[in-house]
């Protein structure tokens, strides 16, 4: 088994331009993903909660800049390049690699990142998109509808904020695992 891992490492050295592109993509887009999520979680979401109804204007401006499209693409590039790197490192023996400390670190970090992506796409993104739509419709709503929609907006933003914290914790775990894996 270790001979397969050794061959995979030797193979990676022979194809260094591909490995350089994969590693650059993984690290660059991973840094963007973690950085964008950290900004959202630690600064943007608390500021939006503080501003109240006017937060809808900022969310609409971010949507016009296609943040809800860009962030998932950045995350996908990170995930695909990471899984590809893991496959190359394992030389087709992923189970064998997972029995090593480096494999466990890369594997658990990758699993955390995948879970963070899924939570972001399935829970966080729809909540934020719906809250933005509701906020944009507040001006034309009757006073009764406005109160109902405002309560729904707050509920959706709270769900998005809590999910954002979970996603951020998973991404920080993934970042830490990837940072130390080679040294285990």
User: How does the average pLDDT of the chain come out, rounded?
Assistant: 88
C-alpha to C-alpha distance for 33 and 121, rounded to whole angstroms: 13
Q: Which of 48-57, 98-107, 141-150, 160-169 has the lowest mean pLDDT?
A: 48-57
d(CA 90, CA 96): 8
pLDDT at 167 over 60: yes
Q: How far is CA 166 from CA 100, 116, 119, 161, in A?
A: 27, 8, 8, 9
Segment 55-83, tens digit of pLDDT: 778 888 888 899 889 999 999 999 999 99
- For residue 4, the model assigns a pLDDT of 55
Q: What is the pLDDT of residue 57?
A: 80
- 106 near 177, Cβ under 8 Å? yes
Tell me the C-alpha distance between 127 and 121, whole Å: 10
Evaluate whether 167 touches 22 at the Cβ level (below 8 Å): no
- pLDDT, mean of residues 19-28: 94
**Percentage of the chain exceeding pLDDT 70:** 92
pLDDT, tens digit (0-9, with 9 covering 90-100), for 103-142: 999 999 999 999 999 999 999 999 988 988 888 787 788 8
How confident is the model over 82-107, as a mean pLDDT?
A: 94
Q: Where are the alpha helices (DSSP H) in the chain?
A: 2-14, 16-39, 45-51, 55-64, 67-90, 94-97, 101-119, 125-137, 143-180
Distance separating alpha carbons of residues 102 and 108, to the nearest angstrom: 10
Return left, alpha or beta for 141; rule: phi > 0 is left, psi -120 to 50 is alpha, else beta: beta
Q: Highest mean pLDDT range out of 86-90, 111-115, 161-165?
A: 111-115
The arithmetic mean of pLDDT across residues 166-172, rounded, is 97
- Statement: residue 44 has pLDDT above 70: yes
pLDDT of residue 3 exceeding 70 = no
pTM: 0.84
Pair of tokens at residue 27: 């690290």
**pLDDT over 90 percentage in the chain:** 58
Question: Between 135 and 102, where is the model more confident?
Answer: 102
Say how far apart CA 99 and CA 83 lie, in whole Å: 17
Which residues contact residue 120 at a Cβ distance below 8 angstroms, ignoring those fewer than 6 apart? Answer: 37, 71, 72, 75, 163, 167
């Amino acid at each position: 088994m270790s001979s397969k891992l050794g061959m995979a490492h030797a193979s990676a050295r022979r194809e260094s331009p591909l490995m350089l592109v994969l590693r650059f993509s993984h690290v660059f887009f991973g840094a963007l993903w973690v950085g964008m999520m950290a900004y959202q979680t630690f600064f943007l979401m608390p500021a939006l909660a503080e501003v109240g109804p006017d937060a809808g204007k900022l969310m609409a401006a971010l949507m016009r800049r296609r943040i809800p499209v860009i962030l998932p693409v950045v995350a996908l590039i990170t995930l695909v390049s990471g899984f590809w790197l893991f496959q190359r490192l394992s030389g087709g023996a992923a189970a064998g690699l997972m029995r090593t400390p480096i494999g466990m670190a890369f594997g658990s970090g990758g699993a955390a990142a995948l879970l963070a992506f899924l939570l972001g796409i399935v829970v966080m993104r729809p909540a934020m998109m719906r809250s933005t739509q509701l906020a944009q419709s507040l001006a034309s709503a009757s006073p009764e509808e406005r109160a109902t929609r405002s309560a729904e907006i707050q509920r959706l933003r709270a769900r998005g904020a809590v999910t954002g914290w979970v996603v951020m914790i998973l991404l920080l775990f993934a970042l830490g695992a990837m940072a130390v894996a080679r040294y285990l």
